[in-house]
Amino acid sequence: SASMSVEVVLRPSDPAGLTSLLDNLYTKGSAEYGKWLAAGEFQREFAPSAASVAAIRTYLNGKGLAVTSTSSAFLLRAAGSSAEVEAAFGTTIDNYRSAKGTAFFSNTAAASLPSNLASGVLGVDGLTNTVRLQPLAQAATGSAAEPSCEIPYPKTLKQLQAITAPGQPFNG
């Protein structure tokens, strides 16, 4: 099977504290309004615990994946064969072709992890290659913009469940 790489997005150690901090940083009149964190402070306060990272790393290594750290404390990169990735995340990755003829791959079901690890993970990036980056701003035109991806939006519950909703626990 083909070789691939995914990034595991790790949950902050204090999500409620992070939400509160962000609300206060951007709320005029708040005592913390505009008082940005010093270099390294964000990671010290909100990075996942070393124990959580180690447990996820050990699990992925045990599934045959090579796990490396990234420049972010909130991401782990895991590489291996597509069969190893499928086994690690409890899903199948299939190849497809869009109506316009574009080839792509995507997971057929939501990724999942053992329950003792799932609470430390927000999601897995790289199980599909259908995302196309777009500029944040575009000049106005007289016509509707083209969709950012040739792949249609999910039309079934199964397809929708394959996407982890922001702020929701990662439990497949």
Q: How confident is the model at residue 100 (pLDDT cuts 50, 70, 90)?
A: confident
For residues 93 and 108, the answer to whether their CB atoms sit within 8 Å is yes
The pLDDT of residue 34 is above 60: yes
Backbone angles phi, psi at 127, to 5 degrees: -80, -10
pLDDT at position 97 is 86
Span 124-171, pLDDT tens digits: 999 988 865 555 555 545 444 444 444 444 555 555 455 444 444 444
Q: Which amino acid is at 169?
A: P
CA dist 162 and 108 (Å) reads: 7
Q: Which residues contact residue 43 at a Cβ distance below 8 angstroms, ignoring those fewer than 6 apart?
A: 73
pLDDT tens track for 49-89: 999 999 999 999 999 999 999 999 999 999 999 999 999 99
Q: What is the mean pLDDT of the chain?
A: 81
Q: What's the maximum distance between 2 C-alpha atoms anywhere in the chain?
A: 56
Whole-angstrom distance, CA of residue 18 vs CA of residue 56: 22
